[in-house]
Structure 1
């Protein structure tokens, strides 16, 4: 549990701050072009290093890989300070691919820790603990643009987040990178019941390369590929086309706080279903999937009603064409409905992500395999995100972006249903291998040194 909490705090300070910054729309900038192109580059390298991340973690360990990965988040946020002063987006855009490398490795390690460290009947609980702490970063990060811009009048022209806001993000992300050095190697971690988390099999570059290639022939991974692809696809629409287009800058910060807070609540609630031992795993999976399917369709239906009222957000030359202009939280009659809908989006996201990780965690208890599964999930997730950010960057209409999100979600659900229906009641254990295929590390009395 200690290791999961530490990893949660790292994600709270690194990806959590990244999410908070991007959730305000355009990473705090009025013109989303640079942010969109930066995030496209980010997710392009994330695709590759997400898939390779599990192999890198298995080969290099977790502490220093996560530390170096965390620093890439600071570099990304710091680049916007430079952009504020020069309006030259080249440096900012170049930090996107660098962050993609770091993020792919960090999230592979996170997935391995979150899915392989808990006991069978605690995976839902551990996922929810991670999700609550991680998204607390988004809540606190959302305070920054809200406080910095609080005294701005609702009729003030839209302007970017000032340097002070970005400096706070940089400092917090650097602190998150340092926290990685407090993690213990997986082979030294023991569960609360005394069992060892992992026996490390011998691995090398050739072995990991073969295992990564096998992921693309793994029937479960192929069936879950649509689920992975769509799992971050909607962020560019929700953060840019919705939050970034409809609200004043200070209200975007408030929305960001509420968005991540609703994620915390949703992840906590669904964990009770995922760990309910009185129900079979198949029953739990199908029930959770049914909840996600119903709420997801309701969410996009409500969003469609909103989207029919506007076609674009604020630009450097024009305001949004939403009736009455940008929405400020002080205008309760105009603000309550759209803000609640944005919170609803966050809750549905948490339900989707929690179900995805829980389903992956039911496939095996092998930590090395789970690191690869997590990497595959994040890699294919990033492929979807890269496409989505580029759709916005290329000026695809907001209505068409919404339709793409809704259709992709609907296409993923049948494949998820098949996997949920075939979930075993007990995860596959680590396969038995000859003694010389194992490298057992650690200083434990019940481990034999080979």
Structure 2
């Protein structure tokens, strides 16, 4: 540790490098992981957002998603340790490779109506998603400088959710003249599979943290890859870590509401082509929400702790208003008395209210999850630690998702699902606020460096 070579290396890492367009810059690397997620989970989100995986009968998709989120819950928690052992290339490629198989299982279901393949593919995707999201969380929260984590989370979330926008256009365009159709056509699933396969290969372009250099010349983490025993012990400790326990309600709720929103709002209220159009705006709203909350978390006040508290307060205010609007809408229909399907061209004013509500759900989702990621990123800077924290978050999140899909399969009333979702997210806000107060520190050095760097960038053009 005290050798001259190490000292020279450390000094060389502190030389400012102005170009954010370097291949080894946090900006490029976070953008790349955003593109990977654009192709894989972004397209998966568009497929799920159709309600029932694009099928009129939601049973196969619900059971496949239960299998998915069950294995995701396990490998989400384990994913951080696996990332620390294997590094980004193997972890991401193995994870991304499972997405196209899942979309392919619904292509198969279109012809054979056998849900066994979809359930197995869902279970495998849960393994892959656990690996992908643990790696993504480590990259997104550890590569950026501490004083710009909200900005980089917004960058990732915007690129990632553009996948949902493009993915929503695929079924909308390919099924535009099939307004009365019950299930999407084969071309829709093939389009999703092509994007997902591209994302798997793009994941090989991600650099390990030791090779990523920030604009101030510092490196993200010069880690030595871990071992199974170390990671097993550290993962078990997460379940006794008070910081992680305070995040559990937010983690559990952050995918729990997807089942209700996708199946019982978009899937029940709208016809096939309109569901595709709605997804374009749902995921587009996610981009707006992440940018807005990212600005608040990074720029609203000088104190990082105060920014966190204000951000939580803003999301809580929006969340309360949006779920209240959802309840007002839900009082108009039930599981036993489903309304006629709305069409964006033919339903006129009846379409506007439910459409705005679904758009608002997308806005809230991105604000909520970006807020939670910011809090996680504020707890540490080291890639190894944050990969475990992110994995824990995704694991608990997926356990909630697994339960939610079975809740819907067992025909729990729509209004009960809405109330549970509203309560879960509401409980999360004060616990996250406590975590920010107790664990997020105002690093004066980081604030000074932020101000100094901003002044330098203004005075000097960015070099390439």
Q: Distance in 1 between matches of 2:115 and 2:338?
A: 27
1:114-153 correspondence runs (5 A): 114-153=140-179
TM-score normalised to the size of structure 1? 0.91
Count residues in correspondence. Answer: 418
Q: Which moved more, 1:214-223 or 1:265-274?
A: 265-274
Instruction: Check 1:31–1:95 CA distance in 2 against 1; reply closer, same or farther (3 A cut).
Output: same
Q: Distance in 2 between matches of 1:228 and 1:92?
A: 26
Q: Show CA shifts across 1:403-448 (max 9, x none).
A: 111111222222112112222113999xxxxxxxxxxxxxxxxxxx
Q: 2:251–2:397: 8 Å Cα contact kept in structure 1? A: yes
Q: Which moved more, 1:120-129 or 1:193-202?
A: 193-202
Q: Which moved more, 1:238-247 or 1:415-424?
A: 415-424
Q: 1:54–1:371: 8 Å Cα contact kept in structure 2? A: yes
Match for residue 84 of structure 2?
A: 58
1:243 paired with 2:296, answer: no
Q: Distance in 2 between matches of 1:418 and 1:278?
A: 19
Instruction: Check 1:52–1:297 CA distance in 2 against 1; reply closer, same or farther (3 A cut).
Output: same
Q: 2:278–2:355: 8 Å Cα contact kept in structure 1? A: yes
Measure how far apart 1:332 and its partner are. 2.5
1:298 paired with 2:321, answer: yes
1:395 paired with 2:421, answer: no
Q: 2:87–2:225: 8 Å Cα contact kept in structure 1? A: no
Instruction: Check 1:306–1:427 CA distance in 2 against 1; reply closer, same or farther (3 A cut).
Output: farther
Equivalent of 2:380 in 364, 379, 382? 364
TM-score normalised to the size of structure 2? 0.88
Match for residue 329 of structure 1?
A: 344
1:15 paired with 2:65, answer: no
Q: Distance in 1 between matches of 2:432 and 2:209?
A: 30
Instruction: Check 1:281–1:219 CA distance in 2 against 1; reply closer, same or farther (3 A cut).
Output: same
Q: Distance in 2 between matches of 1:144 and 1:312?
A: 29
Match for residue 269 of structure 1?
A: 292
Q: 1:363–1:428: 8 Å Cα contact kept in structure 2? A: no
Equivalent of 2:214 in 191, 196, 204? 191
Give unpaired runs (5+ residues) of structure 2: 1-26, 447-464
Measure how far apart 1:272 and its partner are. 1.3
Equivalent of 1:24 in 25, 29, 50? 50
Match for residue 439 of structure 1?
A: none
Match for residue 5 of structure 1?
A: 31
Q: Distance in 1 between matches of 2:443 and 2:75?
A: 30
Give unpaired runs (5+ residues) of structure 1: 314-319, 430-450
Q: Distance in 2 between matches of 1:416 and 1:278?
A: 18
Match for residue 176 of structure 1?
A: 199
Match for residue 367 of structure 2?
A: 351
Measure how far apart 1:87 and its partner are. 0.4
For the residue of structure 2 that corresponds to 1:311, the secondary structure is coil
Equivalent of 2:441 in 417, 420, 424? 424
Q: Show CA shifts across 1:284-322 (max 9, x none).
A: 111111111111111111111111111138xxxxxx622
Match for residue 121 of structure 2?
A: 95
Q: CA RMSD in A?
A: 1.5
Measure how far apart 1:201 and its partner are. 4.2
Q: Distance in 2 between matches of 1:185 and 1:296?
A: 36
Q: 1:365–1:428: 8 Å Cα contact kept in structure 2? A: no
Match for residue 246 of structure 2?
A: 223
Match for residue 447 of structure 1?
A: none
Match for residue 43 of structure 1?
A: 69
Measure how far apart 1:186 and its partner are. 1.8
For the residue of structure 2 that corresponds to 1:233, the secondary structure is helix
Match for residue 434 of structure 1?
A: none
For the residue of structure 1 that corresponds to 2:256, the secondary structure is coil
Match for residue 189 of structure 2?
A: 166
Q: Distance in 1 between matches of 2:118 and 2:56?
A: 15
Instruction: Check 1:428–1:115 CA distance in 2 against 1; reply closer, same or farther (3 A cut).
Output: farther
